[in-house]
Structures are given as structure tokens and as C-alpha cells.
Amino acid sequence: MALKRIALGLCVLVMCAACKKPPRKFPMDKDYSKPLPPGQMALRKITDPAKIPDFSGALNDPASLMKSIDYSLDYFQHPSSQKYFPYLDISHGRAVRSLIEFKKIFQQAQTGEELQQLIVSGFDVYESVGCDDVGTVLFTGYFTPIYEGSLKQTPECGFPLYKMPPDLVKNPETGECLGRKMPDGSTVPSYYTREEIDGKGVLKGKGLELVWLKSKMEAYIINVQGSARIRLPDGKELCIGYTATNGKEYESVGMALINDGKITAGELSLKRLRQYFADNPDQLDAYLYKNPRYVFFGEAAGGPYGSLGQPVTEYRSIATDKAVFPRGCIAFVNTVLPTVTSDGRVADVRCTAFMLDQDTGGAIRSAGRTDIYMGLGDKAEILAGRVKNEGRLYYVFVKETPISMALEPYRSY
């Protein structure tokens, strides 16, 4: 899947060109991943009509939105999706009806004002409590890289990505790493760290190498992004995706550089990290090993896929903490995102758009963090590396229907 023009076009269409203020960079004294109190979910229903956001600017590119909604509907057909509901007052059936009804009104609305009226009259709106209980959410971006590699180790390609090891024990339902199986059949509640895997080579020579990359930095970027397309020497492409992790918590290499005074918070971007380690290759290992989390991969034809097992769609899929947000549901994003202008520049402008909650991420924790999928390839990498702005996150759910309607089959779509 190439980075389609429609993705960049969508970004322009959902932007408010009149927004000329520079994006608000996040302050370092905020804890966007601050845990919620035990038992609290990330959303609360808006009861004051004055606090309902303006949806009217998000009536555009129905094709990509309909496609993404259909992926969520496919997810909800799986019986396993029922175990995550009810979420607050939202049943599994209501979540599905919300997707179906939203498709109808989005296609029915002729103007933004009509879309606003249809949502307000037919849907309840919920807002993320954010990191501060007043709705502040930090938005970042992720992407699917395309790098050159080889199925065999070569002088040019010497940095492996590994398949899930057979001694890694994970929860069959959640995929959570439970530890490492020992030769006697017992399980120790921990798996190898990044330093042990990449530095000490504890998996080396066990036949677990899935693919080899040209640089350690590119292998690390894939590890963080969770998916990639690898161009092989014969011209074919290998699609790979996440299969498991070592269960360690994600630690930001960029934040480590900031804390050590190597770069400033305002500089932080993927491009800047690449440049820093290109200039200081002797520091690469030490900083990469500060992130103990490691991701294992497998072939994933037709991807990239999110954590729901469904494809993610550029500018239409988001990753959130699935412990506190509802899976597969319709979200509304209001933040600042980069886009490519008509003269080829990258500019930051206001974005309001409907997206689907279809993924998760190692760094995405609690109610104050959201990751937006920016697409595939080099342009998406540039754009994703720039996303680092505050905003607001909402969800919409169809109002409760009479019991006779609720009992109707909802899989007739």
C-alpha cells in the first residue's frame, strides 16, 4: 500500500486554513501518561450542550472513513470483541449500532451544519478526561516504514528482526508477555531485555531471524513502529507486523537525550534522532538499550494491521490505551497536524477529523496519549516525526434506542 495522495489530500481537507497560530508544543512538566484512578475509564459523557465540539469541518473524504468503519465492524463480528464491553454505559450492541448509524448520517449529510445537527440529535458525545481531568491529550504520529533488507545476513544487511521465540509465554487472549519458559517447564516472570537480545545476542543462532536490515537505527525504528515493508534484493516486498513483545515498559530514547542535555525538547523529532546518532554513532547502543522493550515480528500480508487484527488507515486510525478506551469505536480528533502544502513545504495546521480507535502502542498510556497513523513510507515518516501537539479527543455513540430496535440483528450491514 503506497502512501496514497488521498491521505495527504485528506489532511489538507480536514484542516482549517484560517488557523495561523503556531502549534502549541507540549510543556515538559506535564505527565501525559499519568495513570487514572483505579477503575476509572478515560471517557465521560458530555451533558452540557455548550461543550459539544464543532463537527462541521470534518465532512470530507467519506471513502476512507467508510473503509475504516467497515474494518471496525469486521472486528466486532468476532466473538472475542464482546469481552471488552460494556464500557461505561456502552454495550457491545450499542457500539456496533453506533458504527452503522454513523455511516448512514455521514453519507446523508449534505453540509457540515447538517452533520452537526444529525450528530447532536442522534448521538451522545463523550470526551477523554485527558492527562489533567480537563481533556488535555498529547497527540503523536506513527507510520509504516519501507526499508531495504534481506532474508539472509549479508555484508550490507547485518541487523536482524526476530520472530517470536518459542520460549516466550504470552496470554492467549490479551497477548501480554507472561515470561520465559524454562527447560524444566516452569516459567520465570520476565523475558530478555533489548540489551540482552541486541547487545548480548541471546537469540543469535537460534534460527529466529525473520529479516536483516542495513542499519541498527532502521531496525529500532521498525521495532518502535510495530510494522514495516521490507524491499528485498529480488525486488519483492515483505510485509511484517507485530506478533509479541518482551513485556518490558517502553522508555523514550528521545526523552533520554533531552534529560541528558543532548538535544532540546523543541528539537525532538525522528529526523533529529536520526541526525544525532548519525553524528554520534558511538552513543547509539547505549541510548537504544535505555528502552528495554523489544517487539517480535512475523509476516503480515495485506497489512499494516492494528492491535484489533484489522488494517489501519492513514489519518483514520488511532492508537490508544485499550485498558481505558473502547476498542474499535468512532473518535473525533481536534489537534494540530503537519501536512504537505501545494508548494511542497510541510506546515502545521489545525485538524478536525473522525477516526477509528483500532490500535495500541507501547508508549501510549492512560487518557492523555493518542497516536495517529500517518501512513506508509518516507513522506509518512517525515510527517509522523513532526506530530507532537496537544488537543482534544471525543467519541460518539448512538443514543439508546427502544428495546424493539435494539433486538434487531445488527450484522445486516
Residue-level pLDDT at 47? 96
Q: What percent of the chain has pLDDT over 70?
A: 90
CB atoms within 10 A of CB 356: 28
297-310-75 Cα angle (round to 5) = 135
**Residue spans of alpha helices (H) in 80-158:** 92-108, 112-122
Residue with cell 468512532: 330
Report how far residue 393's alpha carbon sits from residue 127's, in angstroms, rounded to the nearest whole number.
Answer: 6
Pick one of 2.40.40.10, 3.90.1150.10, 3.40.50.280, 1.10.10.10 as the CATH number of 5-141+309-406: 2.40.40.10
Which of these, 173, 151, 165, 128, lies nearest to 32 by C-alpha position? 128
- Span 377-381, mean pLDDT? 93
Phi and psi at residue 210, in whole multiples of 5°? -85, -45
Instruction: Express each pLDDT in 268-286 by its tens digit.
Output: 889 999 999 999 999 999 9
Report the phi/psi class of residue 39: left, alpha or beta, with left for phi > 0 and alpha for psi in -120 to 50: left
- Span 75-91, mean pLDDT? 96
C-alpha cell at 37: 484512578
Residue-level pLDDT at 28? 56
Residues 34 and 366: beta-carbon distance below 8 Å = yes
What is the pLDDT of the chain when averaged over all its residues?
Answer: 90
pLDDT at 158 over 90: yes
Residues 222 and 294: beta-carbon distance below 8 Å = no
C-alpha cell at 197: 537480545
**Between β-strands 146-150 and 227-231, what pairing exists: parallel, antiparallel or unpaired?**
parallel
**Between β-strands 227-231 and 209-213, what pairing exists: parallel, antiparallel or unpaired?**
unpaired
- Span 98-120, mean pLDDT? 97
pLDDT at 27 over 80: no
The secondary structure element, H or E, covering residue 324 is none
The ranges assigned to domains in the chain are 5-141+309-406, 143-299
Residue-level pLDDT at 175? 84
Residue 320's identity, in one-letter code, is T
Residues 16 and 352: beta-carbon distance below 8 Å = yes
The CATH architecture annotation of domain 143-299 reads Beta Barrel (2.40)
Report how far residue 347's alpha carbon sits from residue 23's, in angstroms, rounded to the nearest whole number.
Answer: 10
Instruction: Express each pLDDT in 219-257 by its tens digit.
Output: 999 999 999 999 999 999 999 999 999 999 999 999 999
Q: In whole angstroms, how far apart are CA 322 and each of 174, 242, 278, 318, 365?
A: 10, 16, 35, 11, 9
Residue-level pLDDT at 356? 98
Report how far residue 98's alpha carbon sits from residue 118's, in angstroms, rounded to the nearest whole number.
Answer: 13
